[in-house]
Structure formats: C-alpha cells, structure tokens
C-alpha cells in the first residue's frame, strides 16, 4: 500500500479571498492535490477567472460572491457550501484588507472598524461557522478537520501608520490557539500562517516603489518577494493527514525576513 499523506482526494476545502493572491495560490495547490474547492470573493471578474482556472484541474469548484465582513452572509454561504459539497474538511480564512493612515494620531475610528470588520470579525465568523460544522460531524462519528487563519508578519513587527491592520492580524494568534485546545477532542486542528511581503493586489504600490524594494525586500534573506504559489505547500500540508498532530501553531512564511 502506498503512503500518500498529502493526497486530498475526497476532501473539500473552502478559501475566503480565494479568487486572487495568497488565497488563489493555496486553492490551486489544493485542487492539484485532489481537493474539491469552495472559493469566496467579492470581485465578480476575479471570481470568474479563478473558477475557470481551478475547473481546469478537473475538481468540483463552487465560486461564490460573499462579503466576509457580513456575519449573515457568511452563515448563509457556509450552509449553502456544505449543502452542495456535502462537507468541509479544510477552511482557510484568508480574506483581508489594509488601510493606511497619515499617522496613528490621525487614524479615525471608521478606518479602525473598517479593517477590524473584515480582518478580525470576518475570520471569527468564518472559523466559528466552520467549527460548528466540523464539531457536529465529529459528534456524528466523523471527527477531524483543519482550520487556518491567515495572519501577517506585521503581528510580529507591527505596521507604522497601519496599526489597525497589524492589530487585527495579531489578534488571530490567540484566537487560533484557543480553538486548537478546545476542539482537539473533536479531531479539529487550528493553525495560523503569517505571510511576509508577498505579491498581491494589496502590495501593488509597494512592488513598484524602488526604495521599498531596496530597503525592505533587500533585507529578505531569500532576496525576493513572496509569491502566491509559495503558500500552496503549507495549505496542502495543513489540509492533509500529514498534519494530523499539528495544531495551535503560528507558521511564518517570509523568506527569513523576521529573523534577520
């Protein structure tokens, strides 16, 4: 018998923000490993393009426009995804936003709440809905499942003039640890990934800024930007049986930036 711990055949994964950037990088790898997929996003053109790309793998794909800053929308979309796909084995709360202010002193309350609504509340609502499904399945005799929160290395080093973003990402770490401890009895794992500087729509402006590339990306020991596909392997690992005893962790994927 062949040992294939990374084979995701028969598993279903859901990725919020799965229509671009890190989310799509994870989704592509998961599909290639055999998983069926649900992707959520808010941009209809990007959602259609991502769906077409993922359907080329031959897997079942559900692509839906969902605002993950809306609790009711998440609850409804989660129920619909489970009804259509039959189950969810891996759920990655990836959708997020940044919002830079002139300075911390000038940051307004509306900006703070705008960022927290998606980056923290949305992750809470997404993982809670997924956890309910997985826990109910465990009670019915089918334990297991993996939850993932996409944090950021800004949770480690902060973010000047973008403190709302860093705070929202930092809050995900104790959230995940608490879930990991409480639901281990159900076979449910919960982890966080902290990406470093990665090419995405959110970092487009920085990618074109020569000074940033020289001073920040020049500090990355691997001497390059992270790419969305750099997160495919960790997604497959966390969705697979290879990580069945790995929970409550915060994994930094940053090319060595935070240790140098």
Conformation bin of residue 177: beta by default, left when phi > 0, alpha when psi is -120 to 50: alpha
Question: CB-side exposure of 29: number of CA atoms within 13 Å?
Answer: 20
Please say whether the beta carbons of 254 and 196 come within 8 A.
yes
Q: Is 165 one of the annotated active-site residues of the chain?
A: yes
Which residue out of 165, 183, 237, 257 is catalytically annotated? 165
In Å, the largest CA–CA distance within the chain is: 62
- Cα separations in angstroms, 9 against 58, 80, 191: 12, 21, 22
Residue of 97, 127, 180, 142 whose CA lies nearest to 15: 127
How far apart are alpha carbons 9 and 14 in whole angstroms?
A: 15
Please say whether the beta carbons of 213 and 251 come within 8 A.
no
Q: How many residues does the chain have?
A: 260
Read off φ and ψ for residue 96, nearest 5 degrees: -165, 170
How far apart are alpha carbons 136 and 151 in whole angstroms?
A: 27
Q: What is the three-class DSSP state of 123?
A: helix
How far apart are alpha carbons 203 and 34 in whole angstroms?
A: 30
Q: Is the dihedral of CA 79, 85, 89, 90 positive or negative?
A: negative
User: Active-site positions?
Assistant: 165
């Amino acid at each position: 018998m062949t040992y294939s711990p990374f084979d995701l055949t028969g598993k279903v994964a859901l990725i919020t923000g799965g229509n671009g950037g890190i989310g799509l990088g994870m989704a592509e790898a998961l599909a290639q490993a055999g998983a069926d997929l649900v992707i959520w996003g808010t941009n209809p053109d990007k959602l259609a393009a991502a769906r077409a790309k993922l359907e080329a793998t031959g897997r079942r794909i559900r692509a839906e426009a969902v605002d993950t800053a809306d609790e009711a929308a998440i609850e409804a979309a989660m129920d619909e995804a489970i009804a259509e796909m039959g189950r969810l084995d891996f759920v990655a709360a990836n959708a997020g936003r940044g919002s830079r202010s002139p300075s911390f002193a000038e940051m307004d309350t509306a900006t703070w709440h705008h960022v927290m609504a998606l980056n923290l509340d949305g992750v809470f609502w997404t993982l809670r809905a997924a956890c309910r499904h997985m826990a109910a399945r465990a009670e019915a005799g089918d334990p297991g499942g993996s939850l993932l929160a996409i944090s950021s290395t800004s949770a480690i080093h902060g973010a000047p003039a973008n403190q709302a973003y860093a705070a929202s990402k930092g809050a995900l770490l104790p959230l995940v640890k608490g879930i990991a401890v409480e639901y281990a009895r159900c076979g449910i794992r919960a982890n966080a990934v902290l990406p470093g500087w990665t090419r995405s729509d959110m970092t487009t402006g920085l990618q074109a800024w020569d000074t940033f590339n020289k001073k920040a990306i020049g500090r990355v020991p691997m001497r390059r930007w992270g790419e969305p596909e750099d997160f495919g392997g960790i997604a497959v690992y966390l969705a697979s049986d290879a990580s069945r005893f790995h929970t409550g962790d915060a994994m930094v994927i940053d090319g060595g930036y935070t240790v140098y």
